[in-house]
Each structure stands twice: as C-alpha cells, then as structure tokens.
Amino acid sequence: MSRFKNIPAPLQGALLVVLATFGFSVMNLLVRIAAEELPLFEVTFFRNFFAFVFMLPWMHKIGFGELKTKHLKLHFLRSVVGISAMVVWFASVSWLPMAQAVALNFTVPLFATIGAALILKEDVKLRRWGATIMGFVGVLVIVRPGFGDFSPLLFLPVLAALLMAGSVMIVKTLTKTDSSSVTVFYTTIFMTLLSLVPAIFVWKWPSTEVWYAVIGLGVIGAISNLLITKALSIADASAVMPFDYARLPFMALMAFLAFGEIPDIWTWIGGGIIACSAIYIAQREASIRKKAAAQLSNRDTVKPASNAPQGTL
C-alpha cells in the first residue's frame, strides 16, 4: 500500500479507474449469467440490495447524522432515473453482444453535453458540438441502419446512456449543496426500494449458483463505484476518465471467454470514434474549468490591491 501512495496522483487515479472498469465488466458478465435464470427486475433489485448491505459499514463510519439533505425530492428523482437506466442497461448486456452494448453506451458524455446546453444552460462551444456530432457518427457505424443485420435492440444501450446522462445532470445539481457521501447514501436506499417493487411481482428464488452471481454483482458493483469515487478525489477527471474506455477490451475478452462472442470490426471502429469524441469533450470541459478558475483567482488577487490604503509606502 505504501508503494501505491508513492505513485504520482494521476497514475494512481488511472490505475483505480482501470480496476473499476475491470470490476464493472465482471459485474456485467454476472448480470448476463443471472438474467439467464431470473427476471431483469429481480437482478436489478439484487444489484442494489447487496450494494446497500456492503456499504452499510461505510455509512455507519461516516455517521448517519452527517447524511442529512434538504433535497430529498431531487435525490428521489435521481434514483428513479438511475433505476430506469440500470434496468435498460441490464437488458442491453443480457440481449445484445456485450462488447457492442458497451461501445454504444460510451455515448453518455455526448448526451450529457446536449443536456448541459439545453437543460442546465451551460455555454457549449462549437468544438464540443462538433465532437458530439462525431460521436453519434460512431453510433451509426456500429448500428448501421438499413443494413441486413440491423436490430432495434441496438438502441437499448443508447437509451441507457441517455438515462445515465440525465442522472449525471441531476448529480451536477445536487453536488452544489450535498456531498458525494450524501448522494450515494440516498441513491442507494431509494434505488433498493424502487427496484424491490417490480421485483416482487416477478419473484423467482435463485439457484445456488445464481445466488453467488447476484451477491457478486452487487458487491463488485459497489466496490467499482467506490474506486471511481476515490480516483476522482485524487486526480482530475480529464486525466483519469479516458481510462474508463478500457471497458471495451475488458468486456470483449470476457464475453469471448464466457460466451464465445467475437465483436465485429464495426464495433471496434464505432466504439473508437465514440471514445475519442467523449475524451475530447472531457478535455475541453477540463480546459474551460481551469481557465475559469484562473480568471477567478486573478480577480481575487487583484481586488485587495485596489482596496489597499493609499500613501502607505
């Protein structure tokens, strides 16, 4: 552990993100295995329930008294959008080639850019719009509408990405007043309860093997989320999040070993286009934030000098 702490912060963050993407890939694999026996609503419930159980000691350590909020309705809305995204995503990795689903899901930052401009009224410049359009060209490369192997199911991971982007925008609003710990706490509770309701109506007790899968996907999903959170706390998002796109080779390898799936060339090309577009958008956002912070710092530095008493030299 001491050796890890001696590594530069950006590299630490990158390693944590790679570990997280590996974990999410394992989780997706376990979702596919569990969904072969259980309804998707039940798989979704187990994902949230076991994540909640795993995180209880962490919540207790923070102290439940520190997890208060004045924005309960907004946390609930975020959870509704989040649970919808999770169900659609689990359907994607259960019904589609897994690498193809992951590549199409790379569109989350593209939808987040559109939402930031239209809903949050952020100033999105021409170059970011260009990168967003290019990303959707990557989607067309993968989906190839009009060709014989086109399937409407290919829009499932894109819909999941749209819902995930909506969740990201709500989180952006919440983080102005609530800490990440508060957001994680309420999201975990609400998503567990929300996923329980539909699961009750289709409930089927898992076999012994599937119990291992649903416990594993809940715990691994929670650990992966914590790794991402830790990575973002020690390094800039623009420096570490490009490594999130390791999901595609990880998922392709696991799907090949477990199910014999081989991604076609269009999945790699389209996924690469989407990933490059998303990375460019992240870099532009980071650059804009740094410039804004520098301008604010300069104003704060100049202001005391202008108010200094005259004739004190």
Burial class (CB in 10 A: 0-12, 13-18, 19+), 6: exposed
The tokens describing 289, both together, are 């934030």
The residue among 159, 172, 201, 162 whose CA lies nearest residue 285 is 172
What ranges make up the beta strands (E) of the chain? none
pLDDT of residue 75: 93
The tokens describing 252, both together, are 């392709």
Cα–Cα distance between 136 and 224 in angstroms, integer? 27
Cα–Cα distance between 30 and 221 in angstroms, integer? 10
Please indicate, yes or no, whether the overall pTM of this predicted structure exceeds 0.75: yes
Domain boundaries, the chain: 2-291
pLDDT of residue 148: 59
pLDDT of residue 310: 35
Q: Which residues of the chain have pLDDT under 70?
A: 1-5, 145-149, 238, 289, 292-293, 295-313
The tokens describing 199, both together, are 């699961």
pLDDT digits (tens, 9 = 90+) for 126-152: 888 898 899 999 998 888 765 656 788
* Alpha-carbon distances of 86 from 42, 113, 133, 166, 312, rounded to whole Å: 12, 21, 25, 12, 65
Asked whether the beta carbons of 257 and 32 are under 8 A apart, the reply is no
